[in-house]
Amino acid sequence: MPTIHIKHLEIVTLDDAGTIHHDADLVITDSKITHIGSPPADLRADEVIDGNGRAAMPGFFNAHCHSPMTFERGWAEDLPFPRWLNEKIWVAESALTPDDVHWGAALAACEMIRSGTVGFNDHYFYMDRVAEVATRSGMKAALAWCVFGIGAQAEVGPGLAGTVDWIKATHGSSEGRIRTFLGPHSPYICPPEFLEQVVEVAQQTGQGIHLHLAESAEQVEQSIQRHGLTPVQQVARLGVFDAPGGCVAAHALSIDDEDTALLAEKGVHVAHCPITYMKLAMPFPPLTDRLAAGVKVCLGTAGQQFRYGYVRHHPANGADGQVSGK
């Protein structure tokens, strides 16, 4: 493998001290960073790149997305979340083919790579085809095949039993770049007994669980009416947060102090997707309280697969810059 020497970079480490190296050099050998700062005096690089005016930093990770939804970009943008989901998205997804999923995810992978995103948590259907995309793209991926547990006619794919077979064949593949999660859709779709079954499978297989949780006040009210518990409390009681591979809970927009404390106690990773909330006019709280409480908040794009945008600076500024977001 070649040795690449990039000169005159601003290097943002994102370490706990917030270290930034100014006008520094970066040396990459065999696809691994071997030097930051001043290069060795005896360095013989195969390629030398002038990084003046550019920054190097760790890659971005998309904590919750539905990558194949690039093919639904711009779909029903004028509708609020419940109508967008129930009247348009579910209808469009009922006609999905495996090839649709493959090419939608492939486009998303191209856009993510272009933005500096190197890995993604995906929760969708036909995840065997998304795994193919992750393998060919070189990205890291944590893939969850969405299941509903309300009858075979509702499943897009093999259901929970078939998902377990897929997990056994896929987890740790592509030189360890692909991980798998169990993917129950949500407590407002999946019956409690099905979520208990998912938890049992997670314990047997060592898997984590990735689901949608507490997306709106209406969902919280419905959960209290049905179960006497908020969605967070309900899935905690069912053991979802105790999955041996961890838990990713997408959104958690409508939570109270007790929910917040529970999420922090259980080490749940809460995927916050502000682009989606703004696009669909969904109210969302500031993150200060949950961060202060110790909740592990991460960023994702969810189903609003807007094209990753690029801010191109004026040539007088000396470089091109990038910002990511869908």
This prediction's pTM: 0.85
- Following DSSP, what letter does each residue of 235-263 receive, concatenated? HHHTTGGG-TT-EEEEE--S--HHHHHHH
Burial class of residue 74 in the structure, from the number of CB atoms within 10 Å of its CB (0-12 exposed, 13-18 middle, 19+ buried)? exposed
Which token pair is 177? 């770049």
Topology of domain 60-299, per CATH? TIM Barrel (3.20.20)
The three-state secondary structure class of 308 is: coil
Q: The tokens 């470089």 sit on which residue?
A: 319
What pLDDT is stored for residue 297 in this prediction? 96
Which token pair is 88? 């348009």
Please give the Cα distance from 296 to 48 (Å, whole number).
39
Q: What is the pLDDT of residues 263-301, one digit of tens each?
A: 999 999 999 999 888 888 888 888 999 999 999 999 999
Kindly give, in sequence order, each residue whose CB lies less than 8 Å from that of residue 258, ignoring residues fewer than 6 positions away.
230, 233
Report the 10 Å Cβ neighbour count for 78: 7
What pLDDT is stored for residue 120 in this prediction? 96
What pLDDT is stored for residue 321 in this prediction? 31
Q: The tokens 């969405």 sit on which residue?
A: 146
User: β-strand 20-29 against 3-12: which pairing, if any?
Assistant: antiparallel
Please give the Cα distance from 272 to 280 (Å, whole number).
14
More confident call, 1 vs 263 = 263
What pLDDT is stored for residue 304 in this prediction? 61
Which token pair is 262? 């529970």
Cα 289 vs. chain centroid, distance in angstroms? 22
Of 120, 112, 143, which is closest to residue 309 (Cα–Cα)? Answer: 112
Q: The tokens 């971005």 sit on which residue?
A: 60
**What class does CATH assign to 3-56?**
mainly beta
Q: What is the pLDDT of residues 197-224, one digit of tens each?
A: 999 999 999 999 999 999 999 999 999 9
Q: What is the H or E stretch that residue 68 is in?
A: none
Kindly give, in sequence order, each residue whose CB lies less than 8 Å from that of residue 96, ignoring residues fewer than 6 positions away.
68, 125, 126, 156
The beta-strand segments (E) located in 164-300 are 178-184, 208-213, 247-251, 269-272, 296-299
Q: What is the pLDDT of residues 95-152, one digit of tens each?
A: 889 999 999 999 999 999 998 999 999 999 999 999 999 999 999 999 999 999 999 9
| Extents of the domains making up the chain | 3-56, 60-299
What pLDDT is stored for residue 303 in this prediction? 76
In sequence order, the β-bridge partners of residue 211 are 249
Please give the Cα distance from 13 to 241 (Å, whole number).
31
Please give the Cα distance from 90 to 81 (Å, whole number).
12
Q: What is the H or E stretch that residue 6 is in?
A: strand 3-12
Residue 157 has pLDDT above 50, yes or no: yes
b/e burial code for range 18-57 (CB count within 10 A of at least 16 → b): eeeeeebbbbbbeeeeeebeebeeeeebeeeeebeebebe
Q: What are phi and psi of 188, to 5 degrees?
A: -85, -15
Please give the Cα distance from 84 to 245 (Å, whole number).
32
